[in-house]
Structure 1
Amino acid sequence: AHKRYSTGLTITEFKVLLVVGSPASCMDLELYGAEEELLGRLDCDEALLGSYAVADGCRVHVIDQSGTRMGEYEIAKSDYKKRPLQVEKYEITKSDYKKRPGDTSVPWRATSPLPRDASGPKGMSPFHGTRHWAQEAALAVALPLGAHCQVQLLGQPSKLATIMFVGQTHFKLGYWVGVCYDEPLGKHNSSVGSRHYFECQPKYGAFEDGIEDEL
């Protein structure tokens, strides 16, 4: 089946829905037709997707301009997994990661243990427990929006996702991380009650607190 997007989306909103491991702010988009002809660049973030020559069978070519992981990705409408093409994967061992000076969450976690078995105020998850809100805020800052991360919840296999929201919510105390999973393993589309927190497809969104370091 083809992947369809609303032509009423702005290019910025469209970028957020493309889970390719690159932050939306660092994407350059090229539109190709069904015959693989270049139709143009989607270069106006405020423009509507429908203002370009989009049609059934088109595909979008995503170029990562983040500078830290340069590469190109193919997004075919029929490809839900959005597999990267000819991109060298950056890998680092845990021992080398821990040696990096000051730019990871490892030093903070080493000096600020986070008890998962403490019981906190009513409405707060066990993970938040007795942590001070200042500590929660510090942990939240260490998780940049748009980063690809690994979600590890107790008793569940790890899942890959993109960080879409970090902060306080109206439905639970503490700081929470809103994610868009790579696969439909979530709970909703980021809407809780009447509040909509970020853009994602149904069953791809969730608010979690077991976020590992970004990939």
Structure 2
Amino acid sequence: MPTVLLVVHCPTVPIVSERRLASTSALSEVCARIELLSGIPSDSQRLSLWSGRTDDADARPGLVHDFAADGLSCEASMTLEQCGARDGMGLKVLDTRASEIRHQFGQEEEEKVEKYEMDDEVYAQRQDSVLAYKQRMKMGRFGEAAASATSDVNDVPDLPSNAQPGARCQVIEGERRGTIRFVGPTAFAPGTWIGIEYDEPVGKNDGSIKGHRYFSAKPSHGGFVKPDKVDVGAFPVRRIADNDDDDDDDIDDDNDEM
């Protein structure tokens, strides 16, 4: 018999439970099982089906079915399969009873129930859980995008402790000097970048790239450089005579500078 793995979430109880149900189960059967799980009477349940679990505030799942809005109740004969239920989806259950009645019954039932909590290591080893399903399907934090982001973070060289906005610095390639105005991640490329306001017009921008401003500088006085290409220290502004031998051809034009 085909089955579907759903994360049942009853926020008013509160209960979060992974349940493997028959795909041919009617809503009436599902409500009866939820009543045994949560203590919420079938006729007081409002069900909604979501694209993912609803107990995680960062997940932001999409609404698939609001059964009450669709005119369906726990007496309906529509099956989970007909509702479009798939592995890993969330089934949210709201208690429509008045809060004073809900709290009264909830407290009485809670005192009777012996709670069981599964150890994290035991849960991680199970192959029929939502966690295992997401790992197999490379969803969420197990996906390629998350792995790529983690790789980008790990590839960032260590920042020197004195690499702070306002500090003087010198770019190793071309020995261009300036003042640090920005340190951190950007939208134009992965990793951490140092934004520099150069003393002279030897930069590539004015502190903004692709419409996003990170700091303000005169035209051609701004630039972004990878941390390992920058020396931070007491680099004074050069006199004009000191710059006669500088050559713009020394400017690094690879992916370490923007």
| Structure with higher helix content | 2
TM-score if structure 2 supplies the norm length? 0.30
TM-score if structure 1 supplies the norm length? 0.35
- Report which of the two structures shows the higher radius of gyration computed on alpha carbons: 2
